[in-house]
Chain A
Amino acid sequence: MSQGHAVSPFAWMRVNLFSTPVNGALTLLILALLAWLVPKAGGWLIWDAVWGPKPASACDAIRGEGACWAVVWDKIRFMLFGVYPFEEQWRAAIAAALLTSLLVISAIRSFWRKRLIAIWAVGIVLSFWLMGGGFGLTPVPAERWGGLSVTLILAIFGIGFAFPLGVLLALGRRSRLPVIRAVSVLYIEIVRGVPLITVLFMASIMFALFMPEGLRVEQLLRAQVAIILFIAAYLAEAVRGGLQAVPRGQYEAAEALGLSYWRTMGLIVLPQALKISIPPIVNIFISVFKDTSLVVIIGIYDFAYAVKKSVETDISWKKYFIEAFLFSIVVYWIYCYAMSRYSQWLEREFARGERR
């Protein structure tokens, strides 16, 4: 292909779709498949479907020909908030919006100042006040929290607290002090070796065993701690990979300038290591966001469980569970794709210094 000339559509097709007889045949086959599939799927998913707040009877009428998205409208409050008291759900909505905005502004480079920590502290306190109540708001115990707000809380605080812990574990594993290294290795290898479900079970049961008499810890808090501890082990290894990839000369130059261990790590090594580790770290975040759905096993209403429950218990909507699940897939996908796009932006941002 010569540079600077626009490629004609025919030329492009000839090279990319019909380059050999086999490729040409495959292309035609796939086109035929798509020609059959797309109108059918499009019909079911979009044009023939029932949208908006319609009753179940409207869906029954077009059963089999169109999707019933009305189920989403009908069950949306349950999906978003679980068994949170109906009149107070506005609070959960604001809390979720608050946490989302905190995430959005944290993503913007111009906000990366010390102020951000204070903003987060205030944001966290506010969202917990809104969710939990007290001081003027009707108290809502954590057992009643559910739906998308719970998934967001578990994921955001899970990642937020696991990140520093994971970094410390990664540094600990590379430490020259034997005790620190042994503890880090033990922690990482044990936690990585068991499924998240078992960690959740353990947290649920062992908290009760180890806490002093009378001190009950919320089930949600136990799940949160379990998720934090779990992510930290995986993050540690992702960060350690980055630490290993930073050239030895960087450590030496920092040493020669007289920087202490923590200054070297914080100012020189970790910024470079974390940038290298962005792909595996974001991978872990995306996985964890979806793994929060496992908390159903200890009785917490996360988003996936709320979606399932919302159609299961209602006879008139029960047969439209496929649409409900598709909706939950789309929601999960939106968050995960947003994380993925953000990570690509981050990588481009940090690569600024490398271009000549």
Chain B
Amino acid sequence: MTAQTAPLTDVTPAIDITGLSKWFGDFQVLRDISLTVRKGERIVVCGPSGSGKSTLIRCINRLENHQRGRIVVNGVELSDDLKNIDQVRSEVGMVFQHFNLFPHLTVLDNCTLAPIWVRKQARAAAEATAMRYLERVRIADQARKYPGQLSGGQQQRVAIARALCMTPSVMLFDEPTSALDPEMVKEVLDTMIMLAREGMTMLCVTHEMGFARAVADRVIFMDRGEIVEENSPDAFFDSPQNERTRQFLSQILDR
């Protein structure tokens, strides 16, 4: 499966990170990270736990702040400026490991909440959009149910639809299948592959190497806060350059 390349006319990178460093107290969790994500690119970030990969993508929509370096999303620099943060968040969608659906709202209300209150859309329009995306992730029949009545895989698909309802240009995935039972992983990955094929810019932290091979333009390996290796999926899996990469791959692929 060949990766779709970004159109040549649009050269502003979707995400441009330079020299990013972050500390939690005295502990440096991100060390001088530089990364550019072009529009329409699909990036998979993998690495051992504690490597900073989740922290990295959480910095991109300012769920975590950074102390040094620059993050620019679609031309908007992330800083303490609230307007910039709001701007970035409206263009970046996020899917969490533990879904984080709103339990007191129905599936449909989960999806229409942000369009109604942030984009100020009318309820009818928001519901129409929501039903469209719920159909795309093949869960439209559960629209009136509450999250607590759905399985993990269904909840995660709703979470994807909820993020899509804000029509983001970039989607961040923080280990979206790690909390799922194995039989539900496929339905979520299939949904993500469908998104990728439609040209969505995606930055995905995951251990699902099959997904990486199928869809990623680049695979990035992080360890102890640094980007250790970065390559196309075939090169990454078939001929890893760095010793740490080889070690990591042997651990997760030979199970």
Main secondary structure of the interface of A (DSSP, over half): helix
Interface string of B81-124 (1 = CB under 8 A from A): 00000100110111010101111101000000110011000000
Whole-angstrom distance from the CB of B203 to the nearest CB of chain A?
A: 13
The smallest C-beta distance from A303 to any residue of chain B, in angstroms, reads: 37
Chain A residues lying within 8 Å of B98, measured Cβ to Cβ, are: 249
Enumerate B36-76 residues with CB–CB distance to A below 8 Å: 61-63
Contacts of B89 in A (CB 8 A): 255-258
Pair B118/A257 contact, Cβ less than 8 Å: yes
Contacts of B96 in A (CB 8 A): 249, 252-253, 256
Tell me the complex Cα distance, A271–B103, Å. Answer: 10
Partner among B94, B102, B103 whose Cβ is within 8 Å of the Cβ of A354: B103
Report A65 CB to chain B, min CB distance, Å.
57
Decide if A272 touches B104 in the complex (CB within 8 Å): yes
Contact A257 B114 (CB under 8 A): yes
- CA–CA, A352 to B144, complex, Å? 13
For B96, B102, B166, the residue with the greatest tally of chain A CB atoms inside 10 Å of its CB is B102
Which range contains the number of A residues in contact with the other chain?
Answer: 20 to 34
For B118, give its contact among A250, A259, A272, A355 (CB under 8 Å).
Answer: A259
> Is A319 engaged at the interface, CB distance under 8 Å to the other chain?
no
What separation, in Å, do the CA atoms of A310 and B250 have in the docked complex? 88
B104 touching A256 by the CB < 8 A rule? no
Chain A CB count within 10 A is highest, among B61, B93, B103, for B103
The smallest beta-carbon distance between B35 and chain A, in angstroms, is 20
Does A267 interact with chain B (Cβ within 8 Å)? yes
Contacts of B147 in A (CB 8 A): 353
B162 at the interface (CB under 8 A from A): yes
A353 proximity list for chain B (CB < 8 A): 103-104, 106, 146-149
How far, in whole Å, are A272 and B89 apart by their CA atoms in the complex? 24
Q: Give the residue name and chain of the A residue nearest to B102 (CB).
A: A268
Minimal Cβ-Cβ distance residue in B for A256: B94
Q: Distance (Å) between the CB of B101 and the closest chain A CB?
A: 8
| Least distance between B59 CB and chain A CB atoms (Å) | 13
Of B114, B149, B162, the contact of A259 (CB 8 Å cutoff): B114
CA–CA, A353 to B114, complex, Å? 20
Instruction: Among B102, B106, B146, B166, point to the contact of A258 (Cβ < 8 A).
Output: B166
Please give the number of chain B residues whose Cβ is less than 8 angstroms from any Cβ of chain A in the complex. 28
CA distance A252 to B114 in the complex (A): 13
CB closest residue in chain A, given B97: A249
Contacts of B63 in A (CB 8 A): 252, 255-256
Per-residue contact bits, chain A 275-313, to B (CB 8 Å; 1 contact, 0 not) = 100000000000000000000000000000000000000
Q: A257-B162, A258-B118 are in contact. Are A252 and B100 (CB under 8 A)?
A: yes
Complex: A260 Cα to B101 Cα, angstroms: 17
Q: Which of A319-356 contact B (CB under 8 A)?
A: 350, 352-356
B147 to A: closest C-beta gap in Å: 7
Kindly provide the distance from the CB of A316 to the nearest chain B CB, expressed in whole angstroms: 59
* Distance in Å: Cβ of A339 to nearest Cβ of chain B: 23
Residues of A close to B114: CB separation below 8 A: 257-259
Q: A267 CA to B105 CA in the complex, in Å?
A: 10
Q: Residue of A at shortest CB range from B101?
A: A253
Question: A14 at interface (Cβ–Cβ under 8 A)?
Answer: no
* CB <8 Å contact, A352 and B102: no
Question: With contacts A258-B86, A258-B90, A267-B117 known, is A350 near B100, CB below 8 A?
Answer: no
CA of A354 to CA of B147 in the docked complex: distance in angstroms? 8
Q: Are B103 and A272 in contact (CB under 8 A)?
A: yes
CA distance A257 to B148 in the complex (A): 21
A263 contacts the other chain (CB 8 A): yes
Known: A350-B104, A353-B103, A354-B148. A256 touches B93 (CB 8 A): yes
Give min CB distance, A272 to chain B, whole Å. 6
A238-257 with Cβ < 8 A to chain B: 247, 249-250, 252-253, 255-257
Q: Quick check: A354 and B61 within 8 Å, CB to CB?
A: no
For residues 142 through 198 of chain B, which have their beta carbon under 8 Å from a beta carbon of chain A?
146-149, 162-163, 166
Tell me the minimal C-beta distance from B84 to chain A in angstroms: 12
B102 with A250: CB separation less than 8 A: yes
Q: A253 contacts B113, CB within 8 Å? A: no
Q: Which residues of A contact B113 (CB under 8 A)?
A: 257, 259, 267-268
Query: Which A residues are CB-close (under 8 A) to B100?
Result: 247, 249-250, 252-253
Residues of A within 8 A of B118 (CB): 257-259, 263
* Most chain A C-beta atoms within 10 Å of own C-beta, residue among B63, B117, B162: B117
- Give chain A nearest CB distance to B41 CB in angstroms: 21
Whole-angstrom distance between the alpha carbons of A354 and B61 in the complex?
30
Residues of B close to A250: CB separation below 8 A: 100, 102
Please, which residue of chain A has its CB at the minimum distance from the CB of B62? A255
Q: What is the chain A residue whose CB lies nearest that of B119?
A: A258
- Please indicate the chain B residues that have their CB under 8 angstroms from the CB of A268 in the complex: 102, 113
**Given the complex of chains A and B, what is the CA–CA distance between A318 and B94 in angstroms?**
73
Using a CB–CB cutoff of 8 Å, the interface residues on chain A facing chain B are: 247, 249-250, 252-253, 255-260, 263, 267-268, 271-272, 275, 350, 352-356
Q: List 28 A-B contacts (CB under 8 A).
A: A247-B100, A253-B96, A255-B61, A255-B89, A256-B63, A256-B93, A257-B118, A257-B162, A257-B166, A258-B114, A258-B166, A259-B114, A259-B117, A259-B118, A260-B86, A263-B118, A267-B117, A268-B113, A271-B104, A272-B103, A275-B104, A353-B103, A353-B104, A353-B106, A353-B146, A353-B148, A353-B149, A355-B148
Given contacts A256-B63, A272-B103, A352-B146, 4 further A-B contacts (CB under 8 A): A252-B96, A259-B114, A259-B118, A267-B113
Closest 5 CB pairs of A and B: A353-B146, A253-B100, A249-B100, A257-B114, A256-B94
